[in-house]
Amino acid sequence: MRKLAFDITHLASRLPVDTPTGIDKVDLAFAQFFSRTGCDAVVHYGFLRPRFHRPELLDRLVAAGLSRWSRADTGGNGAFARVYRALTGRNPDFDARVGAADHKSAGGDAARSRRLAQLRWRSSPGFAGMPRDALYLNVAQHAFEYPRFFRWLDERPDVKTVFLVHDLLPLDYPEYFRSGYKDRFEQRTRTILERASAIITTSHAVKDRLRREFARRQRPCVAIHVEPLPSQLPTAMSVPVEDPHLREQPYFVILGTIEPRKNHLLLLNVWRRIAEETAHPPRLVIVGNRGWENEQVVDILERSTLVKPHVIECSGLDDVGLVRLLANSRGLLMPSFAEGYGLPIVEALTLGVPVVATDIAVFNEVAQGRAVMRHPTDGPGWQSAIEQLADVGTPLARSAREMAQGFRAPQWPAYFEGVTRFLASL
């Protein structure tokens, strides 16, 4: 296998944030892997040319990321405690001081992470540059809209460039993104297609879409490797996952930023109908920050006397709290109009939790046919599925749980074995 240089620019820039995105977590997982197994150099963007560092720098970066984002032994944070009380009327079964202690620890971690980010890794000894005939691996598409960061590759035709591409959704569905974002993403895509020697992605649906984009631009397609992402939630915890007080409450979870593409509006209209027709509706827990162009959704969340009592918003939930919340729910709801993968589906099915998802190709692929599928505009179909899953004794509830428990969950060791084999083949 060629020598490998791993790009740390995105991960270093993201350390100050409180809650990591899925891309942040993937970047950290790659950094952990190469910190453990070894790489030959790490790369950090420079305005005109990159800085190259010795691989020992990865150990510091991974330690900072884990300290910042992986507080997985607290039993849950203050956000989880608030959701727990809203659902059960009780305090969770861990020390009430956890929330405050966790917040204090997070504040200290944030300050340390910001100091690390401000250093820009200048304290790390640099060296001459990229090894000869190396692979340059970038898994985050950080600042790909600025071609100048990659012009150094023109001087290094011996280097093969490998990118991880999650999706091309802004090209296909610009209406679901901020105004003007398509133009920015167009430049990112141009960087990928012009610079990539090979691509890693997470689904065959995205692989097929990439092939079409290469053909549309009349460029020869490069090797594309599909490796489904495993769940990023912890598998071993110091607190019980199952909770009898949560388990007896009929509630569902939707996970992701509140934005038009995620189709929260469908669920809120379904809950309105259920509240009109049912004396005791199940609860809907929305886990995620408010995004953009959500005026109608926000109006319902804040002003609807019919829907608001049955919906709980939650942001800042840590991974342990999310595991406990998902594992005891009646199901995950994933009504998105379009996705490149669908990691929440993998996370829920890995826990054996039923999933109701949009009937689109990528979700059928990711769920392995083990989710209840509905069209993204089929309100009555979603309402029927939710009402049946809310009652654990219904045939649909039993079959959905059986399907979830038969899910073949992707695993991180196998994931990186596949990636490593692909890199070795280049």
Output the pLDDT for position 367: 97
Beta strands 198-201 and 160-164 are parallel
Query: For the residues of 210-226, what is the DSSP string, one character each?
Result: HHHHHHHTT-PPPEEEE
Helix (H) or strand (E) holding 302: helix 295-303
244-405 maps to which CATH number? 3.40.50.2000
Cα(286)–Cα(252) distance, integer angstroms: 9
Output the pLDDT for position 67: 83
Which is higher by pLDDT, 87 or 104?
A: 87
Helix axes 97-119, 57-69, angle to 10 degrees: 150
DSSP state of 131: P
Q: What is the mean pLDDT of residues 64-75?
A: 66
| pTM metric for this prediction | 0.90
Segment 299-317, tens digit of pLDDT: 999 999 999 999 999 988 8
Q: Is the model's pLDDT at 56 over the cut of 60?
A: yes
Question: Residue ranges of the alpha helices (H) in 38-156?
Answer: 57-69, 78-88, 97-119
Segment 340-377, tens digit of pLDDT: 999 999 999 999 999 999 999 999 999 999 999 999 99
Output the pLDDT for position 82: 93
Segment 113-163, tens digit of pLDDT: 444 544 444 444 445 578 899 999 999 989 999 999 999 999 999 999 999
Which residues of the chain are in CATH 3.40.50.2000 domains?
A: 244-405
Cα(339)–Cα(228) distance, integer angstroms: 14
Burial of 40 from C-beta contacts in 10 A (0-12 / 13-18 / 19+):
middle
Which is higher by pLDDT, 324 or 105?
A: 324
| CATH label, 4-67+119-230+412-425, candidates 3.40.50, 1.20.120, 1.25.40, 3.10.450 | 3.40.50
Segment 269-294, tens digit of pLDDT: 999 999 999 989 999 999 998 988 88
Q: What does the mean pLDDT of the chain come to?
A: 88
Per the DSSP assignment, residues forming a β-bridge with 334 are 357
| Residue 16's pLDDT band (cuts 50, 70, 90) | confident
| Residue 238's pLDDT band (cuts 50, 70, 90) | low
Cα(255)–Cα(150) distance, integer angstroms: 35
Beta strands 41-44 and 51-53 are antiparallel
Burial of 6 from C-beta contacts in 10 A (0-12 / 13-18 / 19+):
buried
| Residue 53's pLDDT band (cuts 50, 70, 90) | confident
| Residue 54's pLDDT band (cuts 50, 70, 90) | confident
Query: For the residues of 333-394, what is the DSSP string, one character each?
Result: EE--S--S--HHHHHHHHTT--EEEE--HHHHHHHTT-SEEE-TT-HHHHHHHHHHHHSTTS
Cα(365)–Cα(401) distance, integer angstroms: 18
